Amino acid sequence: MSNLIAIAVIIALFSLFGILHSIMASFNLKEKIAGKFPKFMPYYRAVFNILSLITFYLVYELSPKPYGMIYDLKPPFDLFVYFFQLLSLAGIVYSVRYFDLGEFSGVSQIKRGLKGTYRLNSLDEETSFRIDGPYRFSRHPLYLFLILFLGFRPYMDIFYLTAFLCLTAYFIIGGYFEEKSLVKKFGEPYLEYKKNVSMIFPFKLFSKNV
């Protein structure tokens, strides 16, 4: 298999993952499932996470691994890149601190379902509108730091670069569709937030300081 064909297959597989993931995360699908299978909704988030991990693993395993090193930084230049990767990791940890991990994992939903306190109109997650912490400069700070963490790499081959670009595109496209649901839920306050804060990369923050 030539590298061009391999790259095309990788893009196709990651695109399929992105489409399936977006469909499962869509507001419309959740509403339909809530209408037809309301008792399943407390478990939706947990099932969604498990299926996402399984499908991502399958995409990785099924993807061809074309040979070809793009660059390989030698010491001490690799340490410079590792330093920024470490900063990105700190940013990931910082962003996760502002997450409700119980809601994100689906554990809280299951607990509410077992207690009989699950609110069906919340669909799969009790989300809150936050503009503090990392949300002051990015509407999706976790996506930002994940992109930086994956991008700061002291060596790069064809497969990793292709996968990285696919994931970056998914974060951007997925964030766009995710925000459609957030606008439906929070309305005008979220639209105003979008005007003042960048989606992922904090361009608006820098422009304000010019």
Least confident of 24-28, 69-73, 150-154, 156-160: 24-28
Supply the pLDDT for residue 177.
84
Amino acid of residue 99:
F
134, 140 contact by CB (below 8 A) = no
CA 22 to the chain's CA centroid: 10
| Mean pLDDT of the region 180-190 | 88
Residue 102 lies in domain: 3-208
| Mean pLDDT of the region 196-206 | 87
**pLDDT exceeds 70 at position 208:** no
**pLDDT exceeds 90 at position 72:** yes
* Assigned token pair, 61: 């395993």
Instruction: Judge residue 152's burial from the number of C-beta atoms within 10 Å of its C-beta, 0-12 exposed, 13-18 middle, 19 or more buried.
Output: middle
69 DSSP 8-state letter: E
**pLDDT exceeds 60 at position 209:** no
* Assigned token pair, 159: 């497969």
Supply the pLDDT for residue 5.
94
Compare 81 and 185 and report the one with higher pLDDT.
Answer: 81
User: pLDDT class for 121, splitting at 50, 70, 90?
Assistant: confident
73 DSSP 8-state letter: P
SS3 72: strand
196, 169 contact by CB (below 8 A) = no
* 20-47 pLDDT per residue, tens: 988 888 888 888 999 999 999 999 999 9
| Mean pLDDT of the region 71-90 | 94
Number of independent structural domains in the chain: 1
| Mean pLDDT of the region 57-71 | 93
Amino acid of residue 101:
L
**pLDDT exceeds 80 at position 205:** no
User: pLDDT class for 184, splitting at 50, 70, 90?
Assistant: confident
166, 19 contact by CB (below 8 A) = no
Q: Which residue carries 């937030």 as its tokens?
A: 193
